[in-house]
């Protein structure tokens, strides 16, 4: 077989070989349009004018503009002002300049990245593992139902639940950890060294099931014959998982990671209920700081500036993630 895309060669082949070779062309060649043998219709049904669709969509666009576009632009304007209750003053980029010198802002970023990375890593690892264990298990249905329970709880309620479990006087976990000698007398949430991990633990507890659920859906679609081919080729089950299952899971894992990473940048229910950012500033991740600046101290201008930087970073990180994961399979080694 020589160059299959070479069209000129085709005419030189004999009839039978031509038929055989026709199948050898890539799909693009076969999908090329053919001459239309039918006569052209004398009357065309005119397509509906584009404007018609615009009229239909107008109400939806108006609502969307009102609830999302208007506040978005207002946020940008506000970030350039010093806003107080009842008054506002144009300050240009002074809000942003101040942020760069604000230690809470910078440490907030650091803590946010650390928190988000820990949550994501643990949730992915545990979530995938659970999905593999549960997949095709005899009691799969019941196990999935049980696993999903934490996710069904409102985050604030979950926070309250764990506030009791961590409580230094009657909390279960406090008692267990102290009995095991891991913890000294300090309360879990009141210690700067443990409070962040305690919050990560709650987030992992509540949201790992989401990853499990998504990964489970992905596992069902891993082609069986590829797994079997790899087994016959000589792969062990673990090798098989990394060589076939995981690459097939990338697209669904991307969705899971995107969801969780954006949630970590937005949801602060657990932290507000459990520590409120303390002790000290040890759990004051950026969104918590933003909440404090904007809605406790009512520095709405500065709050808007923080929110905007948070938004931009979220978008950029999201785009990078999609790039990394969503490369067409042909480009990945």
Taking CB under 8 A as the rule, does residue 110 contact other proteins?
no
Query: Looking at 54-180, which runs of residues are DSSP E strands?
Result: 81-84, 87-90
Q: Applying CB under 8 A, does 317 fall inside the site for other proteins?
A: no
Q: Kindly determine how many residues on this chain lie close enough to bind other proteins according to the rule CB under 8 A.
A: 30
Asked if residue 60 binds other proteins (CB under 8 A), the reply is: no
Q: Which of 69, 117, 133, 229 binds other proteins (CB under 8 A)?
A: 229
Q: Which is nearer to other proteins, 217 or 243 (CB)?
A: 243
266 binds other proteins (CB under 8 A): no
Q: Based on CB atoms, which residue is closest to other proteins, 30 or 89?
A: 30
| Terminal alpha carbon distance of the chain | 27
Closest approach of other proteins to the CB of residue 257, in Å: 19
Which of 6, 12, 14, 27 binds other proteins (CB under 8 A)? It is 27
Rounded CA-CA distance 252/214 in Å is 7
Q: Are 206 and 126 in contact (CB under 8 A)?
A: no
> Tokens in use for 63?
């609502």
Interface with other proteins, residue 272, by CB under 8 A: no
Nearest-angstrom CA–CA distance, 212 and 126: 8
Pick between residue 69 and residue 229 the one whose CB is nearest to other proteins: 229
Whether the CB-CB separation of 168 and 188 falls below 8 Å is answered with: yes
Tell me which stretch binds other proteins (CB under 8 A): 166-174, 231-239, 268-276, 284-292: 231-239
Task: Establish if 23 lies at the interface with other proteins (CB under 8 A).
Answer: yes
- Per CB under 8 A, 326 contacts other proteins: no
SS3 138: coil
Binding segment toward other proteins, per CB under 8 A, in 16-24, 165-173, 271-279, 315-323 = 16-24
Query: Binding string, 242-261, against other proteins, x = CB under 8 A?
Result: -xx--x--------------
Report in angstroms the alpha-carbon separations of 278 from 111, 121, 190, 282, 294.
12, 24, 8, 6, 18
Q: Does 24 bind other proteins (CB under 8 A)?
A: yes
262 lines the binding site for other proteins (CB under 8 A): no
| Piece of the chain touching other proteins by CB under 8 A; list 24-32, 84-92, 169-177, 255-263 | 24-32
DSSP 266-325: H--HHHHHHTTT-STTTT--HHHHHHIIIIIS--HHHHHHHHHHHHHHHHHHHHHHHHHH
**Closest CB to other proteins among residues 161, 235:** 235
Quick one: which segment of 46-54, 195-203, 225-233, 261-269 binds other proteins (CB under 8 A)? 225-233
Bridge partners of 90, per DSSP, are 81
Rg, C-alpha atoms of the chain: 29
Percentages helix, strand, coil for the chain (3-state, rounded to 5) are 70, 0, 30
Measured from the CB atom, the residue of 110 and 223 that comes closer to other proteins is 223
Q: Which of 88, 167, 230, 309 is close enough to bind other proteins by CB under 8 A?
A: 230
Name the nearest CA neighbour of 292 among 277, 305, 280.
277
Residues forming the site for other proteins (CB under 8 A): 1-3, 16, 19-20, 23-27, 223, 225-226, 228-236, 239, 243-244, 247, 329-330, 332
């Amino acid at each position: 077989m020589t160059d299959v895309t070479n069209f000129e060669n085709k005419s030189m082949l004999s009839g039978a070989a031509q038929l055989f070779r026709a199948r050898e062309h890539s799909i693009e060649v076969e999908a090329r349009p053919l001459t239309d043998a039918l006569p052209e219709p004398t009357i065309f049904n005119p397509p509906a004018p584009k404007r018609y669709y615009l009229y239909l969509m107008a109400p939806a666009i108006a609502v969307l503009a009102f609830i999302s576009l208007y506040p978005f632009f207002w946020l940008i304007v506000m970030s350039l002002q010093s806003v107080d209750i009842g008054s506002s003053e144009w300050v240009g980029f002074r809000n942003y300049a101040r942020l760069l010198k604000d230690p809470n802002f910078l440490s907030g970023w650091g803590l946010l990245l650390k928190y988000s990375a820990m949550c994501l890593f643990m949730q992915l690892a545990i979530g995938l593992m659970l999905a593999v264990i549960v997949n095709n298990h005899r009691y799969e249905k019941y196990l999935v139902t049980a696993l999903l329970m934490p996710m069904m709880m409102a985050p604030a309620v979950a926070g309250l639940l764990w506030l009791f479990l961590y409580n230094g006087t009657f909390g279960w976990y406090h008692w267990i950890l102290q009995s095991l000698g891991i913890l000294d007398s300090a309360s879990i949430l009141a210690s700067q060294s443990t409070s962040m991990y305690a919050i990560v633990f709650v987030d992992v507890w509540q949201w790992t099931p989401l990853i499990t659920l998504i990964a489970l859906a992905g596992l069902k679609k891993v082609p069986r014959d590829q797994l079997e081919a790899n087994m016959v080729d000589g792969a062990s089950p673990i090798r098989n998982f990394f060589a076939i299952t995981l690459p097939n899971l990338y697209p669904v894992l991307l969705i899971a990671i995107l969801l969780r990473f954006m949630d970590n940048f937005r949801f602060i229910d657990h932290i507000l209920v459990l520590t409120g950012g303390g002790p000290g500033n040890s759990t004051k991740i950026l969104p918590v700081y933003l909440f404090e600046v904007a809605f406790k101290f009512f520095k709405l201008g500065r709050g808007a500036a923080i929110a905007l930087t948070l938004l931009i970073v979220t978008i950029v990180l999201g785009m990078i993630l999609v790039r990394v994961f969503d490369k067409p399979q042909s480009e990945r080694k």
